[in-house]
Amino acid sequence: MMFVRRIAVVGTGYVGLTTGACLASLGHSVVCADVDAEKVERLSRGEVDILEPGLAELVAEGLASGRLSFVLGASAAVTEAEVVFLCVPTPMGVGGIADLQAVESVVDETRELLPSGCVIVNKSTVPVGTAVRTAELLRRDDVAVVSNPEFLREGTAVHDFLNPDRIVVGCDQQDAAERVAALYARLGAPTVLTDAASAEMVKYAANCFLAMKLSYVNAVAELCERLGANITDVTEGMGYDKRIGQAFLNPGPGWGGSCLPKDTHAMLQVADAADFEFRLLRATIDTNERQRQRMVEKVRLAVTGKRGGSLSHVRLGLLGLTFKAGTDDLRDSPALAVAAMLKQAGADLVAYDPALPGGRDLGSVSVVDDPYQAAKDVDGLVVLTEWPDFRSLDWARLAETVRRPVVVDMRNILDPDVIRRAGFTCTSLGRR
Ligand SMILES: NC(=O)c1ccc[n+]([C@@H]2O[C@H](COP(=O)([O-])OP(=O)(O)OC[C@H]3O[C@@H](n4cnc5c(N)ncnc54)[C@H](O)[C@@H]3O)[C@@H](O)[C@H]2O)c1
């Protein structure tokens, strides 16, 4: 039987806005709050400024049906809520520790306003123990705190929310966990009901595992280069094993984005505090830092023909800047990290990204509106994000536009034969 809950969602970023719009589409009555007044105004007019397929449509539907509204500040959203979702940032703080300021400030702000019997649900990624600390900070015996980590991926956020691999809900009070799990009942996903600490741990354990998989494949790719094997065939052969799977097996310029770097560091801090030396995770992070440096060395060799060759006054055209294809999110993008290192090594950089408007100056690199402009008179093209569009560029035209026909494909998305036939030399990862 369908039941409707009054829900407040605090934070309207990738996770909060998706949560609010999707829960409204499932029939619930949702009030979303944010501290950013301009964002609240834009959202109230149905203007969504993040690139997420289907999200603007769901927001428009929710506004039109009256099931979705936007207000400024958490206190304006919670007074009638049965369930309050916290979807605020938990960025990397000093020494890698998760910064919980936003979570704590929402608790402070709403303590006196939460209706008796309501449930606070933490969707933000937070270290083990946060649910317990939140309850202590809240000082309300009549309000339960539940952990319900979110696993959506940027670029497919709506799809992932509505078709989750699993729902994880943790609380030391079983009835509160069951009430939260019931919100998702229509999705028919496997549901893990557990205690709060375990639910919080699931999110970190999953993200650290994904980071480890990527660091592992980057290391195997380097070894393939040295031994004359081909990483594409190697990962295909590995991925058919159901215990391994094909996902997260592509080598690249290092992992990044708004989640994996901060979550791996936060997990390391949690482990340190528990007096546990998490060597595997430390190696995962170190391998990633080394990978970025290795990408710069690859560019040096490809462009100058020499190991350690100078990039001073070398002009490079970068293809892709977002942390992955399908999103406009630049937070902790490995492409920007590699660009900053190339810039520091003396290179002049110009970039094209399908999700970014031209004319932006991102410090180390200026952005232009089309790939042929980015290729003009450059000494090399460097593919940094795996946008499929790059495969179908007119490579013959690009060959006429560049000063020197050199491509470094850090995502292995181009067909080396096509690129070479167009007249380029092409370097990729994990191939001889
Ligand atoms: N982005 C992802 O792919 C993803 C996936 C799973 C989990 N998470 C986790 O979800 C959390 C949110 O991530 P995000 O990417 O949606 O962040 P975001 O930066 O896109 O959005 C956060 C929003 O919260 C608002 N905000 C900040 N403080 C507030 C306050 N006190 N009251 C009301 N609003 C406030 C900000 O203005 C912003 O709009 C993080 O803990 C993140 O690790 C993110």
Ligand 1 atom 20 nearest Cα: 13
Annotation says 259 is catalytic: yes
Q: Ligand 1 centroid vs 126 CA: distance in angstroms?
A: 12
Q: Ligand 1 centroid vs 91 CA: distance in angstroms?
A: 9
Q: Ligand 1 centroid vs 226 CA: distance in angstroms?
A: 42
324 is in an annotated binding site: yes
CA angle 231, 291, 286 (to 5 degrees): 120
CA–CA distance, 100 with 286 (Å, rounded to integer) = 25
- Comparing CA positions, the residue from 300, 355, 281 lying closest to residue 322 is 355
CA–CA distance, 401 with 279 (Å, rounded to integer) = 47
**Cβ of residue 327 lying under 6 Å from some atom of ligand 1:** no
CA–CA distance, 285 with 53 (Å, rounded to integer) = 31
250 is in an annotated binding site: yes
What pLDDT was estimated at residue 264? 98
CA–CA distance, 408 with 414 (Å, rounded to integer) = 10
Its CATH architecture, for the domain 6-194, is 3-Layer(aba) Sandwich (3.40)
How many residues would you count in the chain?
Answer: 432
CA angle 246, 252, 255 (to 5 degrees): 90
CA–CA distance, 317 with 358 (Å, rounded to integer) = 14
- Comparing CA positions, the residue from 83, 394, 95, 143 lying closest to residue 272 is 95
- Comparing CA positions, the residue from 80, 81, 103, 98 lying closest to residue 15 is 103
* 228 torsion bin: left (phi>0), alpha (psi -120 to 50), beta (else): left
Q: Where are the domains of the chain?
A: 6-194, 195-432
Q: Do the domains 6-194 and 195-432 sit in the same CATH topology, yes or no?
A: yes
CATH class held by domain 195-432: alpha beta
Ordered alpha helix ranges (H), 79-153: 101-110, 130-138
Mutate to test the pocket of ligand 1, among 17, 36, 84, 87 (most ligand atoms within 8 A of CB): 87
Q: What tens-digit pLDDT sequence spans the chain (432 residues)?
A: 457 899 999 999 999 999 999 999 999 999 999 999 999 999 999 999 999 999 999 999 999 999 999 999 999 999 999 999 999 999 999 999 999 999 999 999 999 999 999 999 999 999 999 999 999 999 999 999 999 999 999 999 999 999 999 999 999 999 999 999 999 999 999 999 999 999 999 999 999 999 999 999 999 999 999 999 999 999 999 999 999 999 999 999 999 999 999 999 999 999 999 999 999 999 999 999 999 999 999 999 999 999 999 999 999 999 999 999 999 999 999 999 999 999 999 999 999 999 999 998 898 899 999 999 999 999 999 999 999 999 999 999 999 999 999 999 999 999 999 999 999 999 999 997
H helix count then E strand count, the chain: 16, 14
Q: How many CB atoms lie within 10 A of CB 293?
A: 12
